[in-house]
Amino acid sequence: MPIHNLHLSETANLKRASKLSITSYEQAVQKHHDYQRTNRYPDNAVQVMNILATAGVLTTAQLQSIATAAPRTLRDYQRSAFVLSAAYPPKLQNKPLKSAKRNRLWTLGLVGIARAVDLQQAAKTFRGYPYKKTVHDILLNEIVVELLSQAAAEAVPHTWYGTYEGRVRDGKNNVLVEPDALLLFGQDDQKKGFAIEYHNEDDRRRVGDKIDRYEGVQRSAHWRRFWDVAEMPTVVVAVTHPIVLEGYIDTIAERGHAEIRCQYVGKSFGRFAENRAEATVWTNLNKIAFENKREPVRLF
C-alpha cells in the first residue's frame, strides 16, 4: 500500500507505532468526544492543535516560534495522539530554513485530526497530512511564521487562516479560490488582508488560472462573505523559481488595466531567506507590468 500521508509513514514503523496510544481514526473520534465531554484538553495542547490545523505541517523551529511548547511537552502530546512527529525529509535539508535542535516535522495526530474535523477546521474526509505537499507547505509556512513573528514583535494584531479556512465559495458551495494562507493584519477599519499563493513549481502553468480565480472573486464580491476585511485582500505571490513571478508580470500586462483589478505583490523564497528583516516588504507586480517600475509594498 503506498504511503499517502505523514501519519501512515510513521505508523508503518512498528517500533514508532507501539508508542502511540491511538492507532485508528475510530478510536481517535471516541477519545476526542471523551475529552470534549470532560473538558480535559490542556489549554496549551488546544493552542498547538489549532496552529497545526491551520498550518498543516510545521518544522520544530517553526512551531516553537509561534507556540509555547517545549520538546518534552510535544512528545507528551504525541503519545496522546494530539500531534504527530515525522522525520525531516532529505528534500528540505538544503533549504535556507530556520533550524532547531533535532528538527522534525509536526502535524496533527489522530485525536487532533478528529478534533479538527469536528470543529470544522478541516474537511470531513481529512484523515492525515498529505506527504506530497510537505516541501511546498514548509516553505510557505517559513514565510508565514516569520510574518506572524514580526507582527507579534511589533504588537500588530494578526489572524492566520489556512487553506481550508480561507476558501471562498459561491452560492452553490463551489470553491472559487483557496489561498495557501490568508493573513489579516491590523484591526477594525485598519485591517488589511493578504492572500498568499506559494508556487514551488518551475513553470508558469498555474499562473493564468490563479489570476482568473482572484479576478473572478473580486468582481463577484463573494470574498466579502468569507474574508473579514473591508477591501479585497492583496494577492501575495511567493515562489521558489523566479520564472513564476515573470509569468504573473507578463499575464497582468497582457490582461491590461481593464481586466486586472486585484493588487499583486511578489518575492522569491531566496530573496526572503537572504533578508528576513525585510520579510514584510514585497514588490508591486502591477507596477512592473503596467509601468515597468519597481515599487516596494510593506504588508504592515
User: What pLDDT does residue 22 have?
Assistant: 86
pTM (predicted TM-score): 0.92
The predicted model gives 180-200 an average pLDDT of 97
Predicted confidence band of residue 6 (pLDDT cuts 50, 70, 90): low
pLDDT, tens digit (0-9, with 9 covering 90-100), for 14-71: 555 556 678 889 999 999 999 999 989 999 999 999 999 999 999 999 999 999 889 8
Instruction: Report the percentage of the chain scoring pLDDT > 70.
Output: 93
pLDDT over 70 (residue 203): yes
Spatial distance between the Cα atoms of 1 and 8, rounded to a whole number of angstroms: 10
Domains for the chain: give ranges and CATH numbers. 6-129 (1.10.10), 138-298 (3.40.91)
List the beta strands (DSSP E) in the chain. Answer: 58-59, 83-86, 105-108, 158-161, 168-169, 175-177, 181-185, 192-199, 234-239, 264-268, 281-284, 296-298
Q: Give pLDDT, residue 19.
A: 64
- 261-273 pLDDT, tens digit per residue, is 999 999 999 999 9
pLDDT at residue 11 tops 80: no
User: With contact defined as beta carbons under 8 Å apart, do 112 and 127 qualify?
Assistant: no
pLDDT over 50 (residue 218): yes
The yes-or-no verdict on residue 128 having pLDDT over 50 is yes
For the chain, the average pLDDT equals 93
> Among the listed ranges 64-73, 147-156, 253-262, which one has the minimum average pLDDT value?
64-73
Beta-bridged to residue 145, according to DSSP, are: none
Asked if pLDDT for residue 275 goes beyond 60, the answer is yes
CA distance 226 to 177: 11
Work out the average pLDDT over 140-166. Answer: 98
